[in-house]
Structure 1
């Protein structure tokens, strides 16, 4: 995790992790090269599409939803690769399994923290709905509206303790991002290199969400990847654009990086002195109320759509983990259970 005094601190001070993963003289078959190339080309394309045409779109709920949607697709891509590799679980090194299972637990915990924060933000909608209802009534109801706006402010400024746990998990993932050394397994080398890419992008997007939800750019990470990777330039460009924009947002003094939440807060600030004053101009009140209503609807709808994507990601990680554990128990082939798209649209975990 980057620190305020050193925002560009490298996360990989020990050099290129692939020097151990792909030592000189290790040859991959044309089929394995093709599989790895297909995965990495697809990863690069997904990173290109994630780059916003306008930096102003960074940390809008619609962009965050697309970022999570892209992450779901990338994790589905790794399932597709595992299937194509035809690598039975019995051939998996214990270290690979340990890394996969440990990382999957951490990702599930991160998803739970993000879902918790989205739910907390969504609860603020009740305060706004109550305020909007009373803004159309008598002077007595305007007092109630002001109290609802006060409640909204207090709710939004409160902290979510689950996010703190999420930050510690992300730090641990960053420290262990260098995957284990692979010996005498060309398929294992392909799998671990692909998983490295998935882990980097997952950590990058998670750090963006953490910064947005926490209201602090100290949660941003600056990840450095080997230049030899075909997707390195696309990742570096995307990371630089997004992280710089987020830092600019917080440097400007805004209370939140979320665009839609900032819009609602601006409407509340304009409306509050109007309802606080005993003399209310009807036209001014109606205009401000309409502005708040539109912002509230946009914010609530954006949160609902984002929540669905976070849940989809949770399901993808969970089913991939369950499939591996199932195959470990029965001694079967991982490709029999880990199929792409098997968890999208699935039922929520009980």
Structure 2
């Protein structure tokens, strides 16, 4: 799913077509530009749900699609702001303040996601080291290489247990778990624009609400997927139900929650599918090597060599699938970070212009 296109032209359509005198939400929803915004977001969420049902939720490719939806909403939001005729009039100051505050928190979320991806990459490096010691030429492998491979696989097993864990004053803390709690709190505090507020800024506040909800939910899925054995269940966002995309987001939440519950019931350490599959193969290959080394089963019989080759190739394939998805996922996170900065700068420009016209307007220096 690409995030180019789609909603990009809405800013131009919105400009000049909303009347600030439209006071009811019903009349606002009749505007074709806002309908297009809501329809596209609904379509993206529906496509994301369908893709998850086909290839599995919380796979690397699916998370890449989820991040593409986030990127699309923020690209569009950045284009809407200059055309929104938004100013620091009474009532909008709080919304801008809240947006800038949440924007800063999402920047922190991006940093935690990058650290989470780096942890998986470090785990991936250990797996590659183990594979280097037992490759397809298993007949020529020395017993020493088998020992080194088994020990490295043991390090892999230990690394995935300790992944993302920091020790503060002797107490283990998980950055990803803390990040998930932050996103949960952001979702709980999110307020839906109502009545006259909904039409301020030519409907921009409605777009901000949709973009925030989408970002909080989908980023929390990436956080959850990168964590190992998350202690808390996935938070369910409570959202206004009058938007076209509301039902699609609620349905997607339910589908993902069912998948997560299923994985936890199966005893999965990792919820990210490729990481789970790699972990399963690591444990299996470690078990095979440990048996041969413990029983001093050397030289190996041909049947044993063939079995070992199969286990090595399975791990190689699963590890490759995991590794191929990490770099694009990190690129998406970096792009979101850049977009959040760009949108923040646009809002700061709105604040600056408003203050230049009205020196008595509220102070935002602490947010800038």
1:125 matched to 2:128? The reply is: no
Computing the radius of gyration over CA atoms, which structure comes out larger, 1 or 2?
2
Whole-Å separation in 1 of the counterparts to 2:226 and 2:305: 36
In the TM superposition, what is the alpha-carbon distance from 1:90 to its structure 2 partner? 7.2
Whole-Å separation in 1 of the counterparts to 2:158 and 2:25: 60
Whole-Å separation in 2 of the counterparts to 1:44 and 1:27: 18
1:70 matched to 2:36? The reply is: no
Match of 2:359 in 1: none
In the TM superposition, what is the alpha-carbon distance from 1:144 to its structure 2 partner? 0.5
Match of 2:147 in 1: 143
Q: Please say if residues 130 and 148 of structure 1, whose CA atoms lie closer than 8 Å, have aligned partners that are also in contact.
A: yes
1:293 matched to 2:291? The reply is: no
Secondary structure at 2:240's aligned position in 1? coil
Of the three residues 42, 56, 59, the one matched with 1:44 is 42
What is the correspondence of 1:1-150 to structure 2 with a 5 Å cutoff? 26=24, 33-53=31-51, 54=53, 57-88=56-87, 93-136=92-135, 137-150=141-154
1:157 matched to 2:171? The reply is: no
Q: Please say if residues 85 and 202 of structure 2, whose CA atoms lie closer than 8 Å, have aligned partners that are also in contact.
A: no
Of the three residues 210, 213, 220, the one matched with 2:223 is 210
Whole-Å separation in 2 of the counterparts to 1:193 and 1:272: 53
Q: Please say if residues 76 and 316 of structure 1, whose CA atoms lie closer than 8 Å, have aligned partners that are also in contact.
A: yes
Q: Please say if residues 211 and 218 of structure 1, whose CA atoms lie closer than 8 Å, have aligned partners that are also in contact.
A: no
In the TM superposition, what is the alpha-carbon distance from 1:139 to its structure 2 partner? 0.6
Q: Please say if residues 126 and 155 of structure 2, whose CA atoms lie closer than 8 Å, have aligned partners that are also in contact.
A: yes
Whole-Å separation in 2 of the counterparts to 1:45 and 1:98: 30
Distance 1:27 1:167, change over 3 A: closer
Does 107-116 or 223-232 show the bigger shift? Answer: 223-232
TM-score when normalising by structure 1: 0.80
What is the correspondence of 1:259-338 to structure 2 with a 5 Å cutoff? 259-276=273-290, 277=292, 278-279=296-297, 280=300, 281-329=304-352
User: Whose relative contact order is higher, 1 or 2, with alpha carbons under 8 Å and at least 6 apart?
Assistant: 1
What is the correspondence of 1:219-238 to structure 2 with a 5 Å cutoff? 219-238=233-252
Distance 1:273 1:186, change over 3 A: closer
Q: Please say if residues 131 and 145 of structure 1, whose CA atoms lie closer than 8 Å, have aligned partners that are also in contact.
A: yes
Whole-Å separation in 1 of the counterparts to 2:231 and 2:214: 18
Distance 1:180 1:227, change over 3 A: closer
Secondary structure at 2:238's aligned position in 1? coil
Does 214-223 or 59-68 show the bigger shift? Answer: 214-223
Whole-Å separation in 2 of the counterparts to 1:25 and 1:97: 20
Aligned length: 311
Whole-Å separation in 1 of the counterparts to 2:114 and 2:107: 10
Unaligned stretches of 5+ in structure 2? 1-21, 136-140, 165-173, 357-368
1:253 matched to 2:276? The reply is: no
In the TM superposition, what is the alpha-carbon distance from 1:269 to its structure 2 partner? 2.0
Distance 1:313 1:77, change over 3 A: same
Unaligned stretches of 5+ in structure 1? 1-23, 334-350
In the TM superposition, what is the alpha-carbon distance from 1:209 to its structure 2 partner? 2.0
Whole-Å separation in 2 of the counterparts to 1:101 and 1:156: 35
1:177 matched to 2:217? The reply is: no
Whole-Å separation in 2 of the counterparts to 1:30 and 1:175: 26
Secondary structure at 1:229's aligned position in 2? coil
Match of 2:208 in 1: 195
